[in-house]
Homo-oligomer: A and B are copies of this chain.
């Protein structure tokens, strides 16, 4: 951990330039990661252009050359990428499934309508894989955030002062089993287990909402009285990790603490951590553990 940057706003790890040769296009959803990657790229002399999805991306992306788009403005995405010479792409940050009223179909979208309509059905993974393939078919190179900036990946071992107890480890083992099983059905990436009892399973609601539910379940006395519990996150089998890697951050720790959990365990090297220093600080303050479990794939 000694090589970690002291301040989240100043990345010290350069972009893997073996990966990204020319200008980097960043298609930005929610959260701090798009701007963080743009900072790292800029520090490394790699020009960036951020394409922010309206209603999702943070205003902070406006620190960089950028284009705002609405859902469905496919033509606008390609013209922005082309104009800025971006052949390398990172697609990063959570997005909500758009409701139809927020979708604006431009000419570029009309051309790709059969593709867009094909996205209306199926699980997340199915859709995201097709989006990546769509860009690749147009000649773009799509990189995972962790590929271009490895410090975004949760490393193996403990990241906090606290470490899992024997009981926590038993809960972790069951939770990983649950997440692996769910993954085969393209459901969620997370579960909470307390004292051998599965408190909650994530589907479309997202991790934060699931943790809020755990807090409520505990308040209502619907869990075992004794256990604290752990949150586990891991990728789904066959998950398109370049665009849909499970992510944790400060909010994950705040909500895990509010749910009375003992800690958080994730698949090492397969989960992104946003705002590393702040996330670890909160975990330590709230006496949570954060642990990267060696992960040899979802079927191991």
Contact = CB atoms under 8 A, between A and B. Distances in A.
A184 B191 CA distance: 15
Interface in A225-258: 225-226
B98 A196 contact: no
Nearest to A220: B96
Given A122-B197, A185-B178, A195-B121, A100 B205 contact: no
Contacts of A122: 196-197
Contacts of A79: none
A188 interface: yes
A190 to B, nearest CB: 11
A195 B96 contact: no
A226 to B, nearest CB: 6
A211 interface: no
Contacts of A217: 204-205
A221 B182 contact: no
Given A213-B209, A213-B213, A217-B205, A198 B222 contact: no
A56 to B, nearest CB: 11
A151 interface: no
Given A205-B213, A217-B205, A96 B188 contact: no
A200 B204 contact: yes
A199 interface: yes
A204 to B, nearest CB: 5
Contact of A121 (B188, B196, B203): B196
Contacts of A198: 123, 185-188, 203-204
A53 interface: no
